[in-house]
Amino acid sequence: MSSALGYIGRSGGDNKAGVHKIMLVSAVDDRPLVSHGRVYVVDRDADYPVQGDEILIGAVASVKPSALALLSAGNDFYPAVRLELWDGQPVLPPGRWDAVETTNLTLLHGKIRLANSVGMQYLEPGFAIPPGNYAVRVCCRGRERAPHGEEIPQHVPLDPQEHWLIQFSPESLTEF
């Protein structure tokens, strides 16, 4: 499975010794609009992280129990965002990442969507992830190229400039 991030997820299954290989269960790519420097990754009906009631995860994300805010380096543009669900601890894709941060999320509904601060929603009806506790790795690159637009572009450009990878894995099977 290839993506705009330029890597291929590993296939899994049992090897000859009977050891389970980690598998990419599902993935989705989207290009949401960054508004006010943020894109939200939220479980259905979860409150968005907002300044003052959030926990910062490094310089690139903040979290509440069922929601994550991606803190973009730019504004009013369409970065590449990829969400991945793994059945164990995922591999970090090759290449240079500007930031790699980890956190935990509790998903009550299991329908993840992307949203921005002006109410636009993406991935409807939602990226399906079973309810439960998850370890989450947030990776970002291209921050130095993120535009600081004053106007929303009329069309989604071919070059996303900033790239985000959000990897979910069962919390009990993951040690980041």
pLDDT tens digits for 145-159? 888 777 777 778 788
- Please count the other Cβ atoms lying within 10 Å of the Cβ belonging to residue 19: 7
Q: Which CATH number belongs to the domain containing residue 80 in this structure?
A: 2.60.34.30
Where does the pLDDT of residue 49 fall: very low under 50, low under 70, confident under 90, or very high at 90 and above?
low
Rounded to whole angstroms, how far apart are CA atoms 107 and 32? 21
The Cα 70–Cα 37 span in angstroms is 8
Contact 41, 97 (CB under 8 A): no
In a domain, 25, yes or no: yes
Does some domain include residue 14? Answer: no
Residue 48 lies in a domain: yes
User: pLDDT for 54-104, tens place per residue?
Assistant: 788 887 888 877 889 899 998 888 999 999 999 999 988 889 999 999 999
Looking at the DSSP assignment, which residues form a beta bridge with residue 63? 55, 68
Amino acid at 165: L
Gyration radius (Cα) of the chain, Å:
16
**Is the backbone of residue 173 left (phi > 0), alpha (psi -120 to 50) or beta?**
alpha
Helix or strand or coil: residue 66?
coil
Is residue 140 in a domain? yes
Q: For residue 109, is pLDDT > 50? A: yes
